[in-house]
Structures are given as structure tokens and as C-alpha cells.
Amino acid sequence: MLDSLRSCYLLLLLFCTQKVVVGWVSSNNVRQPFSTTSASSSGSSSSSNLKMGVSATMRRVRDSVLSKERSRKDLKIGIAGFYDRSSKLWENVWGEHMHHGYYIPADRTDHQQAQVDLIDEVLKWGDVTEATNVVDVGCGIGGSSRHIARKYNCKANGITLSPYQSSRGNELAKEQGLSDTVSFQVADALEMPFSDNSFDLVWSLESGEHMPDKKKFTDELFRVAVPGGRILLVTWCHRDLGEGETSLTKKEVKLLARINRAYYLPKWCSVQDYVDLMKAKGASDIKREDWSYVIAPFWKAVIKSSLNLRSLFGLLKSGFSTIRGAYAMLLMLRGFNTGLIKFGLITCTKPKVSM
Ligand code: SAH
């Protein structure tokens, strides 16, 4: 089964590589590259453009095949593009929440409700009963922000790297009558455009895994929280290292590297690493939990949902990175099943007196 999927993937890779080359050529306005009637100067610049395009594409394909880690700059551009391209398809199939669902009991089939329940259950787990001003760090198209704003009758600000997500988030806020209290913008979580001590709830649901500098990310979460404010982080982590272990095994590192290429992720950290970062900030009420078992049925449901004609057609239209993302779902499943990947919840209170 896996082998045949792998062959399909390679075929798609070849197909899409071809598409990328063609796309690159047209986006650089190289018209009629093989025309014999074009002027010689434009002909030579066309052919050098073409060469550059082909070599850039070959480099990308090689890096993909070798699961090479992206530079920070490529990562940031890649994340924005990935969500720009895939969010519409996700919303069509799955709705406004781009995260796992809460599967207790495990056989529930109302997947979109399971996603909403996950937000409520995480808030309950984090002892959040009220909020006045929330920041949603890595907000997608804003499902969490709108839900929390309605739940607590509060304000919410969401940030994302994707211009498509930010404008779609604002559009949905307007449609849902929330444009006075909820808004979205393109901004980097590692340099948030907010003043210190602004929010009493700092919420980050499945975006931490994209952050290339976990310390800077944690520092920013603390900086924008009001003293005594609550920070709630739900993120993909790798397993905690055992005693005497200094790193993951080579096989584990390789699996994560392949997932990273597909989902535009940098190096992972463990839940314990986040706890250590929070301790270093002087946080109180630090609590952690592994909810891998809570979300376990989710990936199977997503894979199943992508096997209908509408999704498959949408997938082909969305391009190579979305198709690769779909393939990587199988790798995620393997990571969860082997205990390498954890669905981590971490919460704490920002100290009243800053350290
Ligand atoms: N929390 C949302 C979306 C999760 S998808 C939801 O549950 O529906 C991950 C999100 O993280 C995307 O919106 C992506 O743009 C955002 N993201 C990744 N890196 C980011 C960064 N450096 N700064 C801001 N947002 C980032």
C-alpha cells in the first residue's frame, strides 16, 4: 500500500516539477521561448532566464528529494505561499478551523464539531473562563479568534504569514457580524506588531511547529501577554528525550525532515523544551499534557476526506506543495503511531513582575 502510494507520489512529483518549470517560465514573461523569429538579444536573455529557471527548479527538486532544511527566508516565503494556495481547498472541505479535532469518544464522525470542541476543551484544560483581549498567533483563517470572541464577548487579533488567510479571516468576521471586535493581519509571530503587555489571553493553536526560533517565539508570547495573563500553546512536538539521550534517532530525524519539507517546518522541539523555556521566563502554573490520543482519529478522517473526487480535483488544482502536503499526512500518521510525534499542550501564567 505504502509502496504504491510512494510511486504515485513520485509520478506527481515529476508532473508537478514540469508544472513548476512551465509556471516559472510564464511568470518571467518569457514568451515563445522557442520562437526562431524573436530578436537575438531577447532570445539570449530568454534562454538565460530559462536556464536560471530550470536550475532553480532543479535545486528545489533536489532539496525536496534530500529533505533539506530550508533557510529562514525560504521558510517564511514558503509558509505564506503554502497557506495562500491551500487554505481555500481546506475551507471548502473542512471549514474554517485548520487544526485537529477532539475525538472523545473516539468514534465520533462530526469532524467540524470535533474541531470546535477542541478549542473549548483546550480552554477548559487551561482554566480559561474569561478573556477581554486575545491574540491568536498563527491564526489561519481565524476560526479560533471568532469562536473565542463570541464565547467570551471579547476582542481578538489574529496574525498569519498568509495574505490570503488574513483577508479571508476579515471577510468571515464581517459576514459573521464580528468586524468590530475581531481583526486579522499579516505579521510575523517572531516580531509581533503589538505593544508589550497587551493581551490577557495569548493563544497559539498549531502554529508553533512553524517557528524556526522557539526561544524568540516564547519570548514574544510572553512580551505581548499582560502580567498575570494566560499563555496557551498547542503544538506539534517530538517526544521528550529519555535519560541519557542527547538526540532523536537517525530514523526519527529523517522522518521529521520529510514532514518538514512538505509542511514548511523547521527543526522540532519537545514539550519539555517549551516547559524549560517558560520556566526560564519565570512563568507560574505551568502545565503540560500529551493529547496525541485525543486527536488520533483525525488524520485518518482527513485522509478519507481527501479521497473523494472534489477533493482530489481541488488537490490537483492547488499544485505541488498541497499534493505533497496530502502525501505527508501518511508520514504524520506514522510519527504519531510510533510515539515520535506528540500533540502537545502547554500553558502557563506570565509572571506579575517581569524577569
Ligand atoms: N491556528 C489556526 C491555523 C493553524 S495553521 C487554526 O487552528 O485554524 C498554521 C498557521 O500558522 C498559519 O496561519 C500560518 O500562516 C501561521 N504561521 C506560521 N508561521 C508563522 C509566523 N512566523 N508568524 C505568524 N504566523 C505564522
For the stretch 194-219, pLDDT in tens is 999 999 999 999 999 999 999 999 99
Q: How far is the CA of 145 from the centre of ligand 1 (A)?
A: 12
For ligand 1, is residue 139 a contact (CB within 6 Å)? yes
Name, in order, each residue with C-beta under 8 angstroms of 268's C-beta and a sequence gap of 6 or more: 209, 236, 237, 238, 256
79-93, 120-134, 233-247: segment of lowest average pLDDT: 79-93
Torsion of CA 14, 19, 24, 25, to 10 degrees: 110
> What integer pLDDT is reported at residue 136 of this predicted model?
98
Enter the C-alpha cell of residue 98. 485548520
Enclosing domain of residue 226: 70-350
- Tell me whether residue 341 is in a domain: yes
Q: Residue 317 — very low, low, confident or very high, per pLDDT cuts 50/70/90?
A: low
For ligand 1, is residue 86 a contact (CB within 6 Å)? no
- Tell me whether residue 10 is in a domain: no
Q: Comparing 225 with 324, which gets the higher pLDDT?
A: 225
- Tell me whether residue 65 is in a domain: no
Model's pTM, two decimal places?
0.83
Number of structural domains (the chain) is 1
Q: Comparing 331 with 19, which gets the higher pLDDT?
A: 331
- Tell me whether residue 136 is in a domain: yes
> What integer pLDDT is reported at residue 93 of this predicted model?
82
Closest residue to atom 5 of ligand 1, CA basis? 140
- Tell me whether residue 35 is in a domain: no
- Tell me whether residue 48 is in a domain: no
> What integer pLDDT is reported at residue 55 of this predicted model?
74
Nearest atom, ligand 1, residue 136 CA = 1
Number of CB atoms found within 10 A of residue 336's CB: 19
- Burial (CB count <10 Å: 0-12, 13-18, 19+), residue 296: middle
Given a contact cutoff of 8 angstroms between Cβ atoms, the answer to whether 351 and 235 are in contact is: no
- Tell me whether residue 146 is in a domain: yes
- Tell me whether residue 237 is in a domain: yes
Q: Residue 325 — very low, low, confident or very high, per pLDDT cuts 50/70/90?
A: low
What CATH number does residue 75 fall under? 3.40.50.150
